[in-house]
Structure 1
Amino acid sequence: MSPTLFNKLLWMVGPSLFKKDTNMRRSIPVEQRLALTLRCLASGDCMRSLSYSFRIGHSTVSKIVNETCRIMYEILAPTYLQLPDTNMWKLISNDFSKIWNFPNCVGAGDGKHFAMQCPNNGGSYWYNYKGFHSMVMFAVCDANYCFIAVDIGAYGREGDASIFASSQFSKYLDDGCLGIPGPSKLVYSDSLSPYVFVMDDAFPLKKNIMKPYPGRSTGSLTKEELIFNYRLSRARRTIENAFGIVTNKLRIFRKPMIGSPQNVENYIKAGVVLHNMLIREDSRFYLITKKLPDHFDVNGVLIEGAWRTDNTMTSMFRDLRPGKGINYPTVAKNIRDQFTKYFSNEGAVPWQRVIVEDTGRISEEEG
Structure 2
Amino acid sequence: MKDTTSTQPMHQRKRKAADLGYDLNLATSSGGETAEKGGDGPQRRLWVKDRSKDWWDKYSSADCSDDEFRKAFQMGKGTFETICDELTASVAKENTMLRDAVPVRQRVAVCIYRLATGESLRLVSKRFGLGISTCHKLVLEVCSAIKDVLMPKYLQWPNNESVTVISDEFESISGIPNVVGSMYTTHIPIIAPKVNVSAYFNKRQTDRKQKTCYSVTVQGVVNPNGVFTDVCIGWPGSMPDDQVLERSALYQRADGGLLKGVWIVGGAGYPLMDWVLVPYTQPHLTWTQHAFNEKIDEILKVSKDAFARLKGRWSCLQKRTEMKLQDLPVVLGACCVLHNICELRDEPVEPDSVIEVVDDEMVVPEVALRSETAMKARDAMAHNLLHHNHAGTSFL
Tell me the amino acid that sits aligned with residue 214 of structure 2.
Answer: H
Runs of at least 5 residues in structure 2 that lack an aligned partner in the other structure: 1-74, 207-212
SS at match of 1:207: coil
Question: Aligned ranges for residues 1-367 of structure 1 at < 5 Å?
Answer: 1-130=75-204, 131=206, 132-176=213-257, 178=258, 180=259, 194-215=261-282, 218=283, 220-280=284-344, 282-283=345-346, 285=347, 288-289=348-349, 310=355, 314=357, 318-346=360-388, 348-349=390-391, 352-353=392-393, 355-357=394-396
Tell me the amino acid that sits aligned with residue 320 of structure 1.
Answer: M
- Deviations 1:226-248, CA, capped at 9 Å, x for gaps: 00111111111111011000111
Structure 2 CA distance, aligned partners of 1:95 and 1:251?
Answer: 30
Question: Offset at 1:146?
Answer: 0.5
Tell me the amino acid that sits aligned with residue 141 of structure 1.
Answer: V
SS at match of 2:312: helix
Instruction: Give 4+ residue runs of structure 1 displaced > 6 Å after superposition.
Output: none
Tell me the amino acid that sits aligned with residue 185 of structure 2.
Answer: G
Question: Offset at 1:208?
Answer: 1.4
Tell me the amino acid that sits aligned with residue 362 of structure 2.
Answer: L
Tell me the amino acid that sits aligned with residue 332 of structure 2.
Answer: I
Quote the sequence identity (%): 24
Structure 2 CA distance, aligned partners of 1:356 and 1:124?
Answer: 41
Tell me the amino acid that sits aligned with residue 322 of structure 2.
Answer: I
Contact 1:126 1:133 in 2 (8 A): yes
- Deviations 1:320-347, CA, capped at 9 Å, x for gaps: 3345341432101001001111110125
Structure 1 CA distance, aligned partners of 2:166 and 2:365?
Answer: 27
Question: Offset at 1:74?
Answer: 1.5
Q: Which residue of 2 aligns with 1:300?
A: none
**Root mean square deviation, CA, Å:** 1.9
Contact 2:239 2:362 in 1 (8 A): no
Structure 2 CA distance, aligned partners of 1:139 and 1:2?
Answer: 25
Tell me the amino acid that sits aligned with residue 333 of structure 1.
Answer: M
Tell me the amino acid that sits aligned with residue 263 of structure 2.
Answer: V
Q: CA separation of 1:327/1:141 partners in 2, compared to 1, >3 Å: closer, same or farther? A: closer
Tell me the amino acid that sits aligned with residue 280 of structure 2.
Answer: Y
Q: Which residue of 2 aligns with 1:361?
A: none
Contact 1:203 1:323 in 2 (8 A): no
More helix by share: 1
Structure 1 CA distance, aligned partners of 2:271 and 2:361?
Answer: 16
Contact 1:113 1:320 in 2 (8 A): no
Give the TM-score, by structure 1 length.
0.81
Aligned length: 315
Question: Offset at 1:204?
Answer: 0.9
Structure 2 CA distance, aligned partners of 1:113 and 1:101?
Answer: 30
Contact 1:101 1:235 in 2 (8 A): no
Question: Offset at 1:318?
Answer: 2.5
Determine which structure has more spread, i.e. the larger CA radius of gyration. 2
Tell me the amino acid that sits aligned with residue 279 of structure 2.
Answer: P
Give the TM-score, by structure 2 length.
0.75
Runs of at least 5 residues in structure 1 that lack an aligned partner in the other structure: 183-193, 293-305, 358-367
SS at match of 1:124: helix
Question: Offset at 1:81?
Answer: 0.7
Structure 2 CA distance, aligned partners of 1:138 and 1:239?
Answer: 10
Structure 2 CA distance, aligned partners of 1:167 and 1:85?
Answer: 20
